[in-house]
Amino acid sequence: GAVVSQHPSRVICKSGTSVKIECRSLDFQATTMFWYRQFPKQSLMLMATSNEGSKATYEQGVEKDKFLINHASLTLSTLTVTSAHPEDSSFYICSARDPSRGPGSGNTIYFGEGSWLTVV
Amino acid sequence: GNSVTQMEGPVTLSEEAFLTINCTYTATGYPSLFWYVQYPGEGLQLLLKATKADDKGSNKGFEATYRKETTSFHLEKGSVQVSDSAVYFCALSLDYKLSFGAGTTVTVRA
């Protein structure tokens, strides 16, 4: 079946630095990918929609200059947390849509394994 | 807007007990419904799904039926195991974006 891979699975970075998280669709072309964030012991919240070849669409309250999203190819979207601070520590997870499986969300959305970011 | 409400936890059960986690939703349109599971220290895994009314999703002994009339998608398992200890998220999807419930932590004791 379709697989979405995220890298790194865990990363620790120093406050003030930037960190990049990659989301790859391994066996399908994903025209659309989604980035979610999960705070400790809370639910997942959609951050942005990443569209191949165009600018990402950010949800209300998400700083686009803080969380840079690039979807330069049909199999790769990246999330860069810029000038990271301890409050950015969170679980980030992507999902990708496989358009070849037809319309409807039930059969076309696949999640990556997620990335745990700790900013110290 | 779209939203998902699921029963609050934590839920603590003994092995072989019956598990129910209630989930109701509000949506504009006809969403697909999902249950995801997150084991300790791991990412999100799709447990089961249903794409239209009266569909029943099932996997690993878990079941949930898409009830349009009650806008519900309750998760059930007849006999839980210690390995079922995890956080369970109910979610709906419209336009490929998912809206998640708050999650229910389930702990199964031997």
What is the tens place of the pLDDT at every residue in B74-87? 999 999 999 999 99
In A, minimum Cα distance to B57 occurs at A106
Pairing of strands A67-73, A76-81: antiparallel
B94 min Cα distance to partner chain A (Å): 7
Note the pLDDT tens digit of each residue in B21-78.
Answer: 999 999 988 899 999 998 887 778 889 999 999 999 999 999 999 999 999 999 999 9
Asked if B103 and A42 come within 8 Å (Cβ–Cβ), the reply is yes
Cβ contact, residue pair B96, A43, below 8 Å = no
Contact at CB, A105 and B44, closer than 8 angstroms: no
Interface contact A37, partner B, CB < 8 A: no
Q: Which residues contact B16 (CB under 8 A, 6 or more apart)?
A: B79, B80, B81
Closest to B96 (Cα-Cα) out of A97, A94, A59:
A97
Q: pLDDT per residue over B83-102, tens digit each?
A: 999 999 999 988 788 899 99
Interchain CB distance below 8 Å, B93 and A105: yes
Report CB contact under 8 Å: A106, B51.
yes
Rounded to whole angstroms, how far apart are CA atoms B38 and B47? 9
SS3 B70: coil
Q: Residue B28: what pLDDT?
A: 87
Count of pairs with CB atoms under 8 A, one residue in A, one in B: 58
Beta-carbon contacts of residue A85 (< 8 Å; ≥ 6 apart):
A15, A16, A119
Structure confidence at residue A52 (pLDDT): 86
* CA–CA gap between residue B66 and residue B58 (Å, rounded): 11
pLDDT of A98: 83
